[in-house]
């Protein structure tokens, strides 16, 4: 086989070069030395995670000039406003496993645990300049549903998702050969199908985010906020949870499938941002944001929500929060005041599927 063919993208659609994908698979099936395979140890899997899942990058570097060298632990939910509103002794409850060892001990189940407000909701996705430039309208001004503020909410939720999708794709690519080597010759065909399917999903998800990134950069650079839609609830009572996240909704409020997020053939998904937070004046807000290109699905959700009173809408958005985003935090008093079966129900919903 010539070098050009080896260096071409693999026919399977994984996004890897042929020599790093199906050439290895074919060799593994045919080569006697791969008969047994070598099971990866947990510490090796943890190293693969550490090498790929927490890079220091500025998502907004293409937004405008002025990107600083200092990448910070950027809060996706403001500590001084939202997190401190629900914190007790500097802690909140959130979904997180400390490392892969804990995940293995829990059989892949993620439980609610106490988290410090200094690190809750942070990610290394912005430089200090862009974090201040983009989100000062949220952190230094009272929230009044201004166009600039709605755009900032959407972009912050989007940036977190882009960061996660990029690191997930990087991890899937970097760990591919190590995981492939863990299969015996008899397992490699089925095992490689699973790995390639994960790679395809990660690649498609990242391409969706990259496409949205180009749109949002153009809108923000031109301050053209007319294409950003919002549905907002401002409450005169406190809520015990906050979140920010961007996701593709699978089922509507009537439990009908509205987009098959597992169908790889769909050209693009429709995305929704959900932000639940506190403003400087102490009011609590629940806001859905989306681009006008995603009107069909999001307006369907809004129309269904408006059949209910405000309290029920809060519960609906709370269920969306638990089902679709891990960047979710609860007050200590709320979780510790729940009966055990209700706390376990929240955890099951978070760990469950969309079915």
The pLDDT-based confidence of 31 (bands split at 50, 70, 90) is: low
For residue 23, pLDDT over 70 is answered with no
Kindly give the pairing relationship between strand 272-278 and strand 241-247: antiparallel
SS3 helix, strand, coil % of the chain, rounded to 5? 50, 15, 35
Q: Quick check: 38 pLDDT over 70?
A: no
pLDDT value for 354: 41
Is 29 a domain residue?
no
- Are 291 and 212 a contacting pair, CB within 8 Å? yes
Domain that holds residue 311: 47-351
In a domain, 285, yes or no: yes
Per residue in 181-231, pLDDT tens?
777 766 777 777 888 888 888 888 999 999 999 999 999 999 999 999 999
Asked, for residue 208, whether it belongs to a domain, the answer is: yes
Check whether 321 has a pLDDT greater than 50: yes
In sequence order, the β-bridge partners of residue 235 are 284
- Is residue 2 one of the residues assigned to a domain? no
Separation between Cα atoms, residue 164 and residue 169, nearest integer Å? 9
In a domain, 242, yes or no: yes
Q: Is 39 contained in some domain? A: no
Closest listed residue to residue 203, CA positions, set 231, 179, 171: 171
Distances (CA, A) of 328 to 65, 123, 206, 249: 32, 14, 22, 17
Contact between residue 329 and residue 121 where contact means Cβ atoms under 8 Å apart: yes
Task: Please give the structure tokens belonging to residue 200.
Answer: 């395809």
* Tens of pLDDT, residues 234-246: 998 899 999 999 9
Based on the structure, what is the number of domains in the chain? 1
Does any domain span residue 4? no
Q: What secondary structure letter does DSSP report for 55?
A: -
Q: Is the pTM of this model over 0.85?
A: yes
Burial of 194 (0-12, 13-18, 19+ CB in 10 A): exposed
Residue 197 lies in a domain: yes
For the chain, percent of residues with pLDDT exceeding 70: 84
Q: What would the pLDDT profile of 74-91 be if each residue is shown by its tens digit?
A: 999 999 899 999 999 999
Structure tokens at 337: 């005041």
Placement of tokens 């929240």 in the chain? 346
């Amino acid at each position: 086989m010539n070098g050009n063919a080896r260096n071409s993208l693999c026919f399977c659609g994984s996004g890897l070069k042929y020599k790093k994908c199906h050439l290895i698979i074919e060799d593994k099936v045919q080569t006697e030395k791969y008969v047994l395979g070598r099971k990866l140890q947990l510490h090796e899997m943890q190293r693969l995670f550490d090498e790929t899942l927490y890079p220091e990058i500025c998502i907004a570097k293409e937004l405008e000039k002025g990107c600083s060298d200092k990448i910070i632990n950027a809060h996706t939910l403001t500590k001084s406003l939202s997190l401190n509103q629900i914190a007790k002794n500097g802690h909140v409850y959130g979904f997180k496993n400390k490392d892969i060892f804990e995940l293995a001990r829990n059989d892949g189940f993620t439980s609610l645990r106490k988290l410090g407000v200094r690190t809750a909701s942070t990610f290394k996705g912005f430089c200090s300049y862009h974090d201040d430039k983009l989100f000062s309208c949220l952190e230094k001004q009272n929230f009044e549903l201004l166009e600039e503020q709605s755009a900032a909410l959407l972009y912050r939720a989007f940036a977190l998702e882009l960061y996660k999708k990029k690191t997930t794709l990087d991890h899937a690519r970097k760990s591919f050969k190590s995981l492939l080597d863990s299969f015996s010759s008899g397992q490699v065909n089925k095992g490689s199908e699973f790995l390639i399917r994960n790679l395809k999903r990660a690649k498609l998800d990242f391409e969706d985010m990259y496409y949205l990134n180009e749109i949002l950069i153009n809108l923000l650079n031109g301050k053209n906020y007319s294409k950003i839609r919002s549905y907002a609830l401002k409450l005169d009572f406190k809520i015990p949870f906050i979140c920010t996240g961007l996701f593709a909704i699978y089922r509507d409020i009537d439990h009908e499938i509205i987009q098959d997020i597992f169908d790889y053939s769909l050209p693009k998904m429709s995305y929704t941002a959900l932000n639940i937070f506190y403003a400087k004046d102490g009011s609590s807000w629940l806001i859905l944001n989306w681009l006008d290109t995603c009107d069909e699905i999001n307006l369907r959700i809004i129309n269904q929500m408006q059949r209910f009173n405000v309290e029920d809408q809060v519960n609906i958005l709370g269920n969306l929060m638990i089902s679709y985003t891990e960047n979710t935090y609860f007050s200590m008093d709320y979780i510790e005041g729940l009966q055990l079966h209700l706390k376990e129900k929240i955890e099951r919903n978070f760990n469950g599927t969309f079915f």
